[in-house]
Amino acid sequence: MAPPKNRRPGFSRRAQYGLFLGYVIAAAGALVGAILLVVSAIDPTGFASLRMAAAEATAPVSTAFSSVTRGLVSIPQAIGDHFGTVSENRRLKKQITDNRELLMRARTLAYDNRRLKTLLALRERTSDAVAVARIVSSSASSTRRFGLLNAGRSQGVREGQPVRGPEGLIGRVLEAGPDVARILFITDPDSVVPVRRTRDGLPAIATGRGDGLVEIKPVSMGDPLPKPGDVLMSSGTGGIYPPDIPVARVLRVGRDSAIARPFAQPGTLDVAMVQRAFFPLPPPLPPSQNAPAAGAMPPTPAPTP
Amino acid sequence: MSAIVPMGVDPDARRVSPRTWIIPAVSVMLGSLVTIIPVIFPGGLLPPFGLMMLLAWRLLRPESLKIWSPVLLGLFDDLLSGQPFGSAILLWTICFFVIELIEIRLVFRDFWQDWLIAAGAIGFVLLAGRALASPIAAHVDTILALQILVSILLFPLIARFVGRLDRVRLRA
């Protein structure tokens, strides 16, 4: 290739200054970028309003695209389904006979459960749906795992609310804009979900790995690791995620942790339901007028949640 | 090339049409906007198309983008990418400075060298971005390596596309 056009602007003093100014602006811009990075490391949600403004603009485009891409993505699936029908039919028939016995037992258990609960007059905390919307895009080129939900503050979505899909837990709301919300998927390295094994209630912690899987660690050192095939549900500990949402199935067990695949695969999900936080955080304490002395009661009593 | 240009006179200065900078800038922004396509990738990572467009413009047509343009284009990318705010501003601008330095040494380049420079820049931005965004313990290194490889292999395609756009850009 021929060398690019000489960028030295010759003897024109004005042009030389212009070129120099360009370098100064670029260096200053890089410095500003570094400062912004430090600020966002200290306060990760600091630029939420800027990002949400951009998301507000892009979400309608994504929504318009989504019907098209959903159709295109489903074509290979449909072809595969066509050829796998016979074997799948056989497998499903066998599964039905296997499940029948289990179902009968579950029915009796559910009946017993209901009876015993009324006996105890146990008050169930229901976590009702806030909004149901589609997830329209994700942070596909970053190592973080965020999604964009097509519902925001005007639909009642707030920060910290859990998000689930038809198959299981998806994540939680990180930032809520007027009409869109950013979701932290449970596969993000920053996400932590308290879970328990369905079989016996063994508690564990599910941390995202960043590659579409989650890592299961027991809560205390002596606890056994879950085995491959074990199903983990959210436990409700911590107050964000309501209990008994399916989270993941264990794939393989390592030395001190197990690897599990989430039930809600962010690749196939489209509809997501935002729920109220199980135990919402208490409202922040009102700032005390005079700084309380050591051991003194704050002047205003803390509001009870 | 055209007729002899008198020394000290920028040949572009006389016929600066807005499209000479709008087409590069908009194409880089469209590259950043690829993440809003509603296909959600659970495991794999999408190549950073905005960065690749930027590098292709810079290497193919050094005069098409000013040295400070990655500051603004990086800001736009940061709004959409999900990376910590400021990472593209900083890393993209560093890439431009380094390419500027290389250009002083390496005046006559062919496409292979351009490709090598772009590969280095893509690898640097993605690795640094991973270090800034995710904790060290995150298990993203395999897919990150795959992302870097795919991006480098896709770069010639992007460069071809930029070449096409360049013909449109200069058709005054």
ipTM of the complex model:
0.78
Selected residues 175-204 of chain A with any CB under 8 Å from a CB in chain B: 187, 189-190
**Type of residue found at B58:** R
A153-203 pLDDT tens trace: 898 898 889 998 888 899 999 888 888 898 999 988 888 999 988 888 888
Look at residue B10 and tell me whether its pLDDT is greater than 70: no
pLDDT band at B128; cut points 50, 70, 90: very high
User: Among residues A250, A175, A166, A164, which one has the least CA distance to residue A213?
Assistant: A250
Q: Which A residues in the span 107-126 are in contact with B, Cβ-Cβ below 8 Å?
A: none
Confidence at residue A295, expressed as pLDDT on a 0 to 100 scale: 43
A14 CB within 8 Å of a chain B CB: no
Provide the shortest C-alpha distance from residue B148 to chain A (in Å).
Answer: 11
Q: Which of residues 280-299 of A touch B (CB under 8 A)?
A: none
Mean pLDDT of A68-72: 66
Which of A154-163, A169-178, B15-24, B97-106 is least confident?
A: B15-24
The tens digit of pLDDT for each residue in B37-88 reads 776 665 567 899 999 999 999 999 888 888 999 999 999 999 888 888 899 9
Contacts of A171 (CB under 8 A, 6+ apart): A147, A162, A163, A183, A184, A185, A186, A188, A191
Is residue A262 helix, strand or coil?
strand
Q: Average pLDDT for residues A235-239, to the nearest whole number?
A: 83
What class, spelled out in words, does domain A130-279 have in CATH? mainly beta
In this predicted structure, what is the pLDDT of residue A125?
A: 56
Chain B partners of A39 at a C-beta cutoff of 8 Å?
Answer: 85-86
**Nearest residue to B155 (alpha-carbon basis) of B85, B59, B84:** B59
CA-CA distances (angstroms) from residue B83 to A140, A143, A273, B12, B58? Answer: 10, 8, 25, 36, 23
Q: Is residue B170 part of a domain?
A: no
Q: Which residues of A touch B96 (CB under 8 A)?
A: 26
Residue B5 within any structural domain of the chain? no
pTM of the shown model? 0.76
Range of the domain at B29: 16-35+43-165
- Chain B: closest CA distance from residue A103 (Å): 33
Is residue B91, in this structure, part of any structural domain at all? yes
Contact B71 A143 (CB under 8 A): no
Q: Which residues in chain A are contacts of B127 at CB distance < 8 A?
A: none
Assigned domain for B10 exists:
no
Q: Which of B108, B109, B138 has its CB closest to that of A189?
A: B138
Query: Of A26, A46, A142, which has the smallest distance from its Cβ to B96's Cβ?
Result: A26
- Does the pLDDT of residue A219 top 70, yes or no? yes
Helix (H) or strand (E) holding A136: strand A129-138
Confirm if A191 and A207 have CB atoms less than 8 A apart: yes
Quick one: pLDDT band at residue A116, thresholds 50, 70, 90?
confident
Structural domain contains residue B9: no
pLDDT of residue A297: 43
Task: Kindly state whether residue B133 falls inside one of the protein's structural domains.
Answer: yes
Task: Give the closest of A29, A51, A143 to B71, CB-based.
Answer: A29
Spell out the domain ranges in chain A.
Answer: 65-120, 130-279
**Nearest-CA residue of chain B relative to A55?**
B80
| Residue A302 pLDDT > 70 | no
Domain count, chain B: 1
Question: Which band of pLDDT confidence, cut at 50, 70 and 90, is reported for residue A255?
Answer: confident
Q: What is the mean pLDDT of residues A60-80?
A: 69
Residue B80 lies in a domain: yes
- The answer to whether residue B103 sits within a structural domain is yes
**Binning pLDDT at 50, 70 and 90, where does residue B1 land?**
very low
Distance from CA of B12 to the nearest CA of A (A): 11
Structural element, H or E, at residue A59: helix A48-120
